[in-house]
Structure 1
């Protein structure tokens, strides 16, 4: 089911985490020390993630020298989509040569702490790790079978993946300018919750 990011808690501190990456190394929030940190909730199967992924990879490589670190997290339960399981994450990271860590949130506690709801869902933090931006990567969307939801952002299929919105947000953050006042929600597949974990807003 298609979901839109909740866009809550601007200014709130990034939630701590200690999660394994696809090499089995435990990664923590504290080790990411760049002025800007982008926490991206993604998964292996989502067509929206796969649509923006090449652009996200290019963006992460380009902005690494400018003061941005990216960390991706998969919180999906593999019960509905086995291809989102940890062994598949390991292959996914290698197949796409991800230039950022890809972490496994098996308990889904980190997704809950970040109020993540969809894939992709983006949370951009400044040097004080206060939430600065939580909108879309850009206006590009794949062609999806779901009908538009009244009041939701338009599902654009006629524009390339540029990362325009995220680039503008990171540029503003690194330049010390205010966050964009209008932040269009990210849209994508719903996070696949474990039984008993599904939040009221999920």
Structure 2
């Protein structure tokens, strides 16, 4: 089922957390920030929206490094109900797609709840002060193939954030599969 998150709540402060990564290390979110900001992306392995854009997510994360923007991805889905989102499958997904960023598991879903994550993918773009400046889509493709000349919404917004500290006023919400919440959570 598709879900659409709310648009950016400008100035909302990022929430730090330490989560296990597929690299076998624990990572604090704030440690992932670059001097000009941080993108916290909620993704998963099985979502068709994520699968169709994962190459472009990796490209944008690599390109944002040169702008001083850090990047981290979090999987908060219920892996018991969705085995394709298990930690072992996360490792495979990250390796297959050559993630240049930490891929973390939010097993108790507390980080997704703290951020108000709604779907996969859901992008939170913070400035160097770690206040929210972008909550929007990757690009206009949604879950279609990359189209020539497609505007790179996340990349362009975060490049602007890196240079000015502020996000664009006009933002278009992401769309994706709803977060798979645990019944007891």
TM-score normalised by the shorter chain: which range applies? over 0.9
C-alpha contact 1:138 1:161 (8 A) present in aligned 2: no
Q: Would you say 1:173 and 2:174 are equivalent positions?
A: no
Unpaired runs of 5+ residues, structure 2, are none
The structure having more radius of gyration, on CA atoms, is: 1
In the alignment, what sits opposite 1:4? 4
Distance 1:131 1:123 in 2: 7
TM-score (norm 1): 0.85
Distance 1:95 1:11 in 2: 35
- Residues 79-131 of structure 1: per-residue CA shift (max 9 Å, x gap): 33201011110111111111110000000000000000100000000011000
Q: Would you say 1:184 and 2:172 are equivalent positions?
A: yes
Deviation at 1:29, TM superposition (A): 2.2
Q: Would you say 1:27 and 2:15 are equivalent positions?
A: no
Deviation at 1:25, TM superposition (A): 0.7
Deviation at 1:196, TM superposition (A): 2.8
Deviation at 1:31, TM superposition (A): 1.3
TM-score (norm 2): 0.93
Q: Secondary structure at the match of 1:91?
A: helix
Q: Secondary structure at the match of 1:66?
A: coil
In the alignment, what sits opposite 1:135? 136
- Residues 157-190 of structure 1: per-residue CA shift (max 9 Å, x gap): 7845956111221121111164211111100000
In the alignment, what sits opposite 1:41? 42
C-alpha contact 1:77 1:193 (8 A) present in aligned 2: yes
Q: Secondary structure at the match of 1:50?
A: helix
In the alignment, what sits opposite 2:102? 101
Unpaired runs of 5+ residues, structure 1, are 144-156, 198-202
Q: Would you say 1:116 and 2:117 are equivalent positions?
A: yes
C-alpha contact 2:49 2:176 (8 A) present in aligned 1: yes
Tell me the number of residue pairs that the alignment of Structure 1 and Structure 2 aligns. Answer: 184
Distance 2:94 2:149 in 1: 20
- Residues 20-77 of structure 1: per-residue CA shift (max 9 Å, x gap): 0002211002312411100000000101001111011111112212201110000000
Structure 1 residues 163 and 50: CA distance shift in structure 2, 3 A: farther
C-alpha contact 1:52 1:161 (8 A) present in aligned 2: no
